[in-house]
Structure 1
């Protein structure tokens, strides 16, 4: 059985990975350890986790686990937002020329990420553009918060209809998926880590996969890991 360590940017991704992705992978004989909040700093010998985007602590965190787990059938992956990546992320400046093609841009950055880590067991994943994009796969999920907010749900549905995929909803400071959601449902901003995974459960993993091709490609890759140990 293959094993996977997943490094999550925040508690929303951590919970979603634990409640939705972990059981999905188990069906394919892939065991995922409890998702880990990725490091964002190390001060006075203590590692601080979650909510940060500084690249060096993230890289050190991943490589530290790799040194402890050297088996060829143990893999490592990430759930990190493309939105607001720190300037020191590998290839970020170069990727600006690819901004008009989000898929090409994110795949370029993942390639650079993988090259910088330098271990074939590492499967980088950057979310286009952030976790909240998944919730635009079916905005009716927001009935879970308040069945009477039909006007607000229609606004979110209208936004979703403008894009080929929710993953293409842009990464502006006021127009990123999370910002658009908070405009209609302010409570989501106050309890993002709670509502984020619950709303995704209302939609269902298969619906999200059908609407979000980059997410689906990554998850399909993880599902294929059983029996795929890297040769030494």
Structure 2
């Protein structure tokens, strides 16, 4: 049995996790819990790395057996995310990055 907490940007991502992914994973004894980033009542928007890191610290302190993931819209990540400046520099120089390259830079 595994618990996976996923920090998500908004209600759409939370609903997708709850209604689509969670039932599938529960059949495999993996229990997915989608948490909205930030404070209750938050409505999405620009996602800062500081806000994500704070929420991640809180969730990871809850249990040593907790796994963490996230789901955010790429276009909402701000420049504070590790790797975003490299991506912006590549785009500014005219270099087209593939989704795989972006994923590697942000991982």
Normalising to structure 2: TM-score of the pair? Answer: 0.82
More helix by share: 1
Q: CA separation of 1:27/1:107 partners in 2, compared to 1, >3 Å: closer, same or farther? A: farther
More strand by share: 2
Structure 1: which 4+ aligned runs deviate by more than 2 Å?
Answer: 47-50, 95-100
Question: 1 CA distance for matches of 2:10 and 2:24?
Answer: 20
What pairs with 1:49-128 in structure 2 (closer than 5 Å)? 49-52=42-45, 53-71=47-65, 74-96=66-88, 97=90, 99-109=96-106, 111=107
Listed as ranges, the gaps of 5+ residues in structure 2 are none
How many residues are matched?
Answer: 100
What pairs with 1:135-174 in structure 2 (closer than 5 Å)? none
Question: 1 CA distance for matches of 2:96 and 2:64?
Answer: 36
Q: CA separation of 1:81/1:100 partners in 2, compared to 1, >3 Å: closer, same or farther? A: same
Displacement of 1:2 in angstroms is 0.9
Normalising to structure 1: TM-score of the pair? Answer: 0.40
